[in-house]
Amino acid sequence: MTYLIRNGLVLFEQGLAAIDLLAGPDGIRVAPGTAGAAQGLDAGGLMVLPGIVDIHGDAFERQIMPRPGVGFPLDLALAETDRQLVANGITTACHAVTWSWEPGLRGADTARALLATLEAMRPALAADTHFHLRHETFNFEGEAEILDWIAARRIRVLAFNDHMEDIVRSATERKSKLTKMVERSGIGETDFVTLVNRFWARRDEVPGLTERLAAAAVAAGVTLLSHDDRDPGERRWYRARGCRVAEFPKTEETAREAVAAGEDVIFGAPNVIRGGSHTGCPSAGEMVAGGLCTVLASDYYYPALAQAPLRLERAGAAGFAAAWALVSTNPARSLGLADRGRIADGLRADLVLAAREENRLRIVATLADGRLVHLAEGARLGAG
């Protein structure tokens, strides 16, 4: 089916314009001369926006394990997640799957099963869904398998995560946080602490492992992220190994180091909605206003991506077109996906029809690769 989207305000890089679009499996046509047999879709009173590209989202974990130790089938969880994605205007999603040295929800078996299930389900999913591997840097035992996944082009993003020091501190100083980690792992506290100490003793091996994985990813064209860079020196270390995207840098100075080098910097859209970080990291809104954030990610809450641009505009941090680019054009660029993230002739027909309301953006319809995958107001179909 091809759709003639009429009467809406279409967001281009320069701003909004009243113009019609033709959208279908062959892509976008701006101001089509003839519509042929296209199905009408009335966008009166709505903005027509590029589909949202989510470079890092892990809220799907709540569909897999909504309570500690309570798991559900992966296919059911991913199907439900897919519905949440398109209902929130997300047409390209990178599921951020952590493969840690820990057992349980973030262990090897879960990562393998998620990748296999995602690959089997991908043709039936509404959003274009990719695998974002969050490699915990102490995961020595996963090296050979991860290298195989990279070589086989099974992953779109490889992120380097190092939460070990935080876990080591939690084992002695922050018992409440340790309890959550133990519950997630599925083993007892004594066994968990023993495991932590065993891997921590191998910390001198981490740089070599990181370098080997980074070199393979660069050669394969995989997008590389460094997660939670602690200072500019750490950002430079990862840059030297081909990692050109900084995800959730811990300090403003680190973000500034990345931007000065022409790199993308990711912060969380929930940070924007909540007015700051829940972990004491930089405020995403302030980073956007200062030109130190180029990409927003859903992180742990899918609805935040569509709402953050409106919040940024109203706070004076960015104009709406520039703010929407943080969730569409820029993440598409980071992922090397040149066929989406903007509205232009010939690009993939990933579109969001949304109503600007007083306190939020209401998603009325979502098209993914020209397919109408979400419609909240059925009367708009065939009208206009």
Same domain, 314 and 328: yes
170 and 245 in a common domain: yes
Predicted confidence at residue 171, as pLDDT, reads: 62
Alpha helices, H only, the chain = 61-64, 74-87, 108-121, 143-151, 164-172, 175-185, 189-200, 206-220, 232-239, 252-260, 269-274, 284-289, 304-314, 320-325, 329-334
Which pLDDT value is given to residue 121? 98
Residue 383 gets which letter from DSSP? -
Predicted local confidence at residue 174, as pLDDT = 58
Q: Count CB neighbours of 137 within 10 A.
A: 21
293 and 365 fall within a common domain? no
* pLDDT above 70: residue 384: no
Sequence-distant (≥ 6) Cβ neighbours of residue 26 within 8 angstroms: 2, 370
Residue 269 dihedral angles phi and psi, to the nearest 5°: -65, -35
* Whole-number pLDDT of residue 70: 87
pLDDT digits (tens, 9 = 90+) for 157-213: 999 998 887 777 766 665 666 777 777 777 788 888 888 889 999 999 999 999 999
Spatial distance between the Cα atoms of 77 and 285, rounded to a whole number of angstroms? 31
* C-alpha–C-alpha distance, residues 243 and 258, integer Å: 11
The pair of three-digit structure tokens given for residue 73, joined into one six-digit string: 């089938």
Highest mean pLDDT among 28-42, 58-72, 128-142: 128-142
SS3 94: strand
208's CB contacts (< 8 A; 6+ apart) are none
Radius of gyration for the alpha carbons in the chain, expressed in angstroms and rounded: 21
Instruction: Express each pLDDT in 247-271 by its tens digit.
Output: 999 999 999 999 999 999 999 999 9
> Which two three-digit tokens encode residue 16?
């909004």
Residue that has been written with the tokens 């080591």 in this structure = 168
Domain count, the chain: 2
Q: Are residues 36 and 110 in the same domain?
A: no
Q: Are 173 and 309 found together in one domain?
A: yes
Q: Per-residue pLDDT averaged across 126-147, rounded?
A: 97
Q: By C-alpha distance, which of 280, 252, 279 is closest to 265? A: 252
Domain shared by 372 and 307, yes or no: no
What's 26's DSSP letter? T
In this structure, the answer to whether residues 310 and 179 fall within a common structural domain is yes
d(CA 165, CA 148): 28
- 361 shares a domain with 319: no
The CATH number that applies at residue 191 is 3.20.20.140
Structure confidence at residue 36 as a pLDDT band (50, 70, 90): confident
Could you give the CA distance from residue 137 to residue 62 in angstroms, rounded to a whole number?
A: 24
Contacts 24+ apart (CB under 8 A), 190-199: 192/102, 195/101, 195/102, 196/164, 196/167, 196/168, 196/171, 199/101, 199/138, 199/140, 199/164
Q: Which residues pair with 247 in a beta bridge?
A: 227, 266
Question: Residue 27 belongs to what H/E stretch?
Answer: strand 27-30
> Same structural domain for residues 369 and 304?
no
What single-letter amino acid sits at 332? Answer: A
- 155 pLDDT band, cuts 50/70/90, is very high
Which are the contacts of 156, defined by CB distance < 8 A and separation ≥ 6?
A: 94, 130, 131, 132, 222, 223, 335
CA distance 91 to 284: 23
pLDDT at site 170: 66
Q: Are residues 348 and 293 in the same domain?
A: no
Together in a domain, 121 and 206: yes
pLDDT tens digits for 319-349? 999 999 999 999 999 999 999 999 999 999 9
Mean of all residue pLDDT scores within the chain: 93
Q: How far is CA 246 from the centre of its chain?
A: 13
Tell me the C-alpha to C-alpha distance, in Å, between residue 166 and each of 161, 196, 200, 241: 11, 11, 11, 24
pLDDT (0 to 100) of residue 166: 76
| Domain range enclosing 210 | 51-334
The pLDDT value given to residue 179: 73
Which CATH number do you get for residue 19?
Answer: 2.30.40.10
| 282 and 350 co-located in one domain | no
The pTM assigned to this predicted structure is 0.93
Last residue of a domain, one of 334, 353, 368: 334
Query: Is residue 333 within 8 Å of 294, Cβ to Cβ?
Result: no
> What secondary structure does DSSP assign to 253-265, as a single string?
HHHHHHHHTT-EE
Predicted pLDDT of residue 185: 75
Question: Model confidence at 382, in pLDDT bands (50, 70, 90)?
Answer: confident
